[in-house]
Structure 1
Amino acid sequence: MAEVTKARTGQLIHKLFGILQAQPDGMKAGDALAALAAQVQLTPYEAGDYPTGGRRFEKIVRFATVDTVKAGWLVKDKGIWTVTSEGAQALQQYPDGEQFYREAVRLYHKWKKAQPVAEVEEGDDEAVEKSASITLEQAEEMAWAEIEAHLAAMPPYEFQELVGALLTAMGYHVAWIAPPGKDGGIDVIAYNDPLGTRPPRIKVQVKRNANSPRIDVMGLRSFMAVLGEGDVGLFVALSGFTKDADLEARQSHRRITLIDANQLVDLWTRHYGQLDDGARRRLPLKPVWFLAGNE
């Protein structure tokens, strides 16, 4: 990293934030790095590989993003990078890339000093800590990509069964799962008790295709149209939902919950102990613990 100046790092990070800001719903880290590489001229050093593998460019940029995360400018969640409102404000306030990056570094050290058990040492210790953070980040990205691919490849009816199994593990009673074929917009029906005598009735629509566009307001309204006054709607879509659809769901007089891939997997892991063996085989997960350092 000795051949990379703060000015160059700032140029790269500033350009990266410009790319991410144009994607308010976030962007996959790999896609963001590829877009950045396409917009800048890499030096021979940056384009080269480390002896242990991996292009230097990606490591340089990832290393610098640690500062922006601690500055509150960037959020990383399961491989998705999203610029915060503070990050967007900083991008406008510091049009010069080096100034932008130096402010992120300053805020990183301010954060570090505020940690109750932080050992505030400069130099190699900081580099090691950031490298460990990047290693963990990349491991999480790879794990999440595998989970997403597994869910996306699951046959539609089996995915409905997975959602039904999750509801059962959460204590609901699944009364019906739509067989293959047309379902009239409802894939699963569940109740609070085995006989369905206690309201509400839960109607579930499931959309498995993760590569489809996010569910928009019109898609949401089509589902809401099949909900009765006493029904609760549950819309599960791996592709996620637009911000307008999310706002519509929260403001509607209908009781409706939207669940994207992140929330689905979070619920799955939270209730993993209550799933039966058949359900676990559909999406078998295993926790792995890392030494994460100061958070």
Structure 2
Amino acid sequence: MAEVTKRRTGEFLRKLFEILIQAPDGLPAQDAIAELSNRVTLTDYEAGSYESGGRRFDKIVRFATIDCVKAGWLLKHKGNWSVTEEGIAALKRMPDPEDFYRTAVKLYYKWKQAQQGAISESTDSAPDVENAPEKETSITFEHAEEQAWNEIEKYLLAMNPFDFQDLVADLLKAMSYHVSWVSPPGKDGGVDILAYTDPLGTRPPRIKVQVKRVSQKITSDTLRAFISLIGNEDVGLFVSTGGFTKDAEDLARVQETRKITLIDMNKLIDLWIEFYGKLDDGARRRLPLTPIYFLTPQT
């Protein structure tokens, strides 16, 4: 790609890494690319679009990040991008943008050679959008995964809180727990669902569940209030679409007499997919999903 040099691509990557480092939990890919485009001045070529659709800048960045993932510098998980410790170290070690990008490309080809059991003559090529079918496949897969997860998350966040509470109860039933009580509208005393491991509820543990359909992270103070309701023979499940602060996660981890499990949005969706076949028809209508299969990218 003559219009985009290795140095220019390296400048994009370094700026992207700087943006992601400021977000310890990472950023959705679309948000990261949008923020990057706001911090750089695009040429007419970079701001233009391909005949097949899509802005050139977006594809240039996405192609280059594939090298960074295989270099071990960048993580992509369900549409979320974050920088690894190795990536932070590489950013500090290689201040020159061209050197930074060339090294990522070399590490990508080193990974590819190991996968193919062959040695490639080229270990220093720039990302060629028109002539890199394996990376094009990977980006198509990324787009589909990002869109799917974004739509599911938006759907859950827009759900009525009591419908969301019922969704969690349905999931517990599909996991073979016996739900004995789901809080009706009104004050619940800090517990939204009660469940047991046997139909009569005669055997411990009793499972107490608090459900929060929120966008912000649950703090340690909120979690501590829930923990105070958990007895020695109870298990506490805290489900939060907004996730949990690091302090809250640490608090749950250091509990010795009380068993506390935290379930964020990603874990909830993973469990829903895992036990989808065991949900009844009414439960599936709360969050209907259809599997779509892609050829697994080899990049």
- TM range, normalised to the smaller chain? over 0.9
- 1:266 is matched with 270
- The one-character-per-residue Cα deviations of 1:32-70 (angstroms, maximum 9, x if unpaired) are 111111111111111111122221111110110000111
Deviation at 1:244, TM superposition (A): 2.0
In structure 2, distance between residues paired with 1:37 and 1:246 = 34
SS of the residue corresponding to residue 115 of structure 1 reads helix
1:63-74 matches, within 5 Å, as 63-74=63-74
In structure 1, distance between residues paired with 2:190 and 2:107 = 49
- The percentage of aligned residue pairs carrying the same residue is 61
In structure 2, distance between residues paired with 1:119 and 1:226 = 61
Deviation at 1:121, TM superposition (A): 8.0
- 2:141 is matched with 136
- The one-character-per-residue Cα deviations of 1:71-102 (angstroms, maximum 9, x if unpaired) are 11111111111111111111111112111111
The one-letter code of the counterpart of 1:57 is F
SS of the residue corresponding to residue 294 of structure 1 reads coil
The one-letter code of the counterpart of 2:76 is K
Contact 2:70 2:108 in 1 (8 A): yes
Judging changes above 3 Å, is the alpha-carbon distance between structure 1 residues 100 and 190 closer, same or farther for their aligned structure 2 residues?
same
- The one-character-per-residue Cα deviations of 1:183-206 (angstroms, maximum 9, x if unpaired) are 111111100001111111111111
- The one-character-per-residue Cα deviations of 1:218-238 (angstroms, maximum 9, x if unpaired) are 121121111112111101111
- The one-character-per-residue Cα deviations of 1:237-267 (angstroms, maximum 9, x if unpaired) are 1111122211221111221111111100100
In structure 1, distance between residues paired with 2:103 and 2:131 = 17
Q: Are residues 1:104 and 2:104 paired?
A: yes
In structure 2, distance between residues paired with 1:282 and 1:93 = 49
Q: Are residues 1:41 and 2:41 paired?
A: yes
1:1-295 matches, within 5 Å, as 1-116=1-116, 127-209=132-214, 211=215, 213-253=216-256, 254-294=258-298
Deviation at 1:104, TM superposition (A): 0.9
Judging changes above 3 Å, is the alpha-carbon distance between structure 1 residues 219 and 130 closer, same or farther for their aligned structure 2 residues?
same
The one-letter code of the counterpart of 2:73 is W
Structure 2 gaps, min length 5:
none
The one-letter code of the counterpart of 1:219 is T
SS of the residue corresponding to residue 49 of structure 1 reads coil
Contact 1:118 1:294 in 2 (8 A): no
In structure 2, distance between residues paired with 1:75 and 1:287 = 24
Structure 1 gaps, min length 5:
none
In structure 1, distance between residues paired with 2:205 and 2:252 = 18
Deviation at 1:217, TM superposition (A): 1.3
- The one-character-per-residue Cα deviations of 1:87-122 (angstroms, maximum 9, x if unpaired) are 111111111211111111111111111115779586
Contact 1:207 1:237 in 2 (8 A): yes
The one-letter code of the counterpart of 2:83 is V
The one-letter code of the counterpart of 1:250 is R
Select between 67-76 and 243-252 the one with higher mean Cα deviation. 243-252
Judging changes above 3 Å, is the alpha-carbon distance between structure 1 residues 126 and 256 closer, same or farther for their aligned structure 2 residues?
farther
SS of the residue corresponding to residue 132 of structure 2 reads helix
RMSD of the alignment, in Å? 1.7
In structure 2, distance between residues paired with 1:235 and 1:292 = 34
Contact 2:207 2:235 in 1 (8 A): yes
